[in-house]
Chains A and B, each alone.
Chain A
Amino acid sequence: MQAMDFAIIKERIYIRTAELAGLPLDGVGPHTTLEGIGLDSSDAVLLALEIEELVGAEVDVGVFLRFPTVGEAMDELARTYAPLVSKT
């Protein structure tokens, strides 16, 4: 598994979240909630897949569901995947 800059993961997640919701990139921020932009658990599965492809490890889909906002999910991801990524 390759260590990775967490900023890359963060950027990819914001881009993918915006794509899935059909929004411009600036329509998604740390305070965005998935249900607020019309996304559901199947979109959470796709967001988890996005990270899995970056870090090469299985990602708990629940991260995107347990936390109300994208920003909180990012914080949790940073904590969980700290050994795999450098937080910047």
Chain B
Amino acid sequence: MHKERAPAGKVDVSGGQFALDPVAGYNIQRAASPISWQQPFRGFLLTTLTDVAQALRSPALAETNPFLGWHSIARKLGRDYEATLRLFGYMPFIYEGEKHKRLRATLAKGLAPFSDASAIFDRRVARSLAALESSMNFDLARDFSGTLFFEILCDLMDFPEESRAAIRPLSRLSFALDATLPVRLRDDVQRTVAAAMPALAREVGLSLRSGSRNILHSIGEALPADEPDATSAIAHLATVMFLMGGDAISACVTLPVKHLLTVQASDPQATQQRWATLSDDAIRFAAPVDYLTRVATDDLSIGEFPVRRGDRIIASPLAANHDPAHFGSDAGMIRDRGGGAGMAFGAGAHMCVGARIARNVVQSAYGGLSRLPPIEPAGEADLNPGRVVRSLASLPMRFR
């Protein structure tokens, strides 16, 4: 029946080959058919900015919980995924209705006083980059962007430096969002969460007792009055921030920098000294959180495309952000467009609750990088395993 409404995808956007250059794949698919049936997702893929924006803002398209599979696999294999499932219970974006509103409001109120703390962000960026300058070669992903947001959040939580190593692995788990994650990696996620959560809960408790009015205190004040275990809830909400922010913010640095360094010889706008002016468009360009999946709770239309109740819709912020009809023929370039980050943070009721802090942290990162001595690639980049959050595990660099 789907074949009557949209053609099968010219590009399989779930495949490993696609992951090597998703923008090229989306561009081919959009040109062939802006809306296509993607068999692996059992759903319709949207690739234009107009369609993606409409879908994400539609009240008739509900979030699908990507973690339901974890329950099913735990039950069928007799695995203990309890620590991980408890963590997922604090992720606002996978819920609808009251639970979504409650979790989202808690995080939003908790984050708000700290989202513009650019002096703190700049200080951490400067400190991390100064450490890189002491050697000729470095890895931009491993040594800088991959830990940046984690360290900034720890600064905002007043965690001592020596306590951070035990909880850092929680910031590298965004691949847990992949619905088709192999069992081996699910087991890894469970081990990591089970090992790190007690250490995090201990640090949260110490920080709260210190009386400092830090971000943890702010989240605590925003918790509903009937929360039975505030310290545990704050620790889990902190982990949601680590997990969702760590790899995504890293990707907003590494993917655009990789591109900028490739084109800067022929593109004066891409020169390193100008990067501080490019951060919003770098986020647009990277749009690392993809495959936003919704299910129709009612019949509706996206443009002229009829969506029926029960249909699955896959909205791609990355495809939307490279839509030439909206961003022009230079959509694949990073420019000072002054137009924000497109669909990179989503839209509608599920728009990223950390968008403001993320945008400011990325701004600080590009500011710092623009002041570095000239850098250049020093090896092949490596992808992280996640497909929902696409990021680089490694981006070798050297100073020229």
Interface residues of A, Cβ cutoff 8 Å to B: 20, 35, 40-46, 48-49, 52, 58, 60-62, 65-68
Contact = CB atoms under 8 A, between A and B. Distances in A.
A65 B40 contact: yes
28 contacts: A20-B76, A35-B42, A41-B179, A42-B68, A42-B69, A42-B70, A42-B72, A42-B179, A43-B72, A44-B180, A45-B73, A45-B181, A45-B182, A46-B73, A46-B76, A52-B182, A52-B184, A58-B182, A60-B16, A61-B180, A62-B14, A62-B40, A62-B180, A65-B40, A65-B180, A66-B12, A66-B14, A66-B40
Nearest to B74: A42
Interface size class of B (residues with CB under 8 A): 20 to 34
B15 interface: yes
Contact of A41 (B16, B39, B69, B76): B69
B40 A42 contact: no
B117 interface: no
B39 A65 contact: yes
Given A58-B182, A62-B15, A65-B14, A42 B39 contact: no
Given A45-B69, A45-B73, A60-B16, A67 B39 contact: yes
A61 B16 CA distance: 11
A61 B182 contact: yes
Contacts of A44: 180
Contacts of A48: 182
B77 interface: yes
Contact of A40 (B16, B69, B182): B69
B183 interface: yes
Nearest to B15: A62
Nearest to A59: B182
A60 B73 CA distance: 17
| Residue among B16, B68, B183 with the highest chain A CB neighbour number at 10 A | B183
A66 B181 CA distance: 15
Chain A binding site: helix, strand, loop or mixed by DSSP? helix
Interface string B157-181: 0000000000000000000000111
Nearest to A41: B179
A66 B39 contact: yes
B374 to A, nearest CB: 40
A46 B344 CA distance: 32
Interface of B: 12, 14-16, 39-42, 68-70, 72-73, 76-77, 179-184
- Please report whether the interface of chain B is mostly helix, strand, loop or mixed according to DSSP: helix
Nearest to B66: A41
B66 to A, nearest CB: 9
Most B-side CB within 10 Å, residue of A20, A35, A46, A67: A46
B179 to A, nearest CB: 5
A35 B70 CA distance: 18
A45 B180 contact: yes
Contact of A45 (B12, B39, B68, B183): B183
A41 B64 CA distance: 13
* Interface pairs A-B: 4 shortest CB-CB: A42-B69, A65-B40, A61-B180, A42-B72
B77 A46 contact: yes
Contacts of B180: 41, 44-45, 61-62, 65
A65 B105 CA distance: 36
B20 to A, nearest CB: 15
B329 to A, nearest CB: 32
A36 to B, nearest CB: 11
A45 B183 CA distance: 7
A43 B15 CA distance: 18
Contact of A49 (B42, B69, B183): B183
A72 B76 CA distance: 25
The interface centre, meaning the residue of B12, B73, B77, B182 with most chain A CB atoms within 10 A of its CB, is B182
A41 B15 CA distance: 15
A35 B40 CA distance: 11
Given A45-B182, A46-B73, A49-B182, 5 more contacts: A20-B76, A41-B69, A46-B183, A60-B16, A67-B39
Contacts of B182: 45, 48-49, 52, 58, 61
A52 B183 CA distance: 10
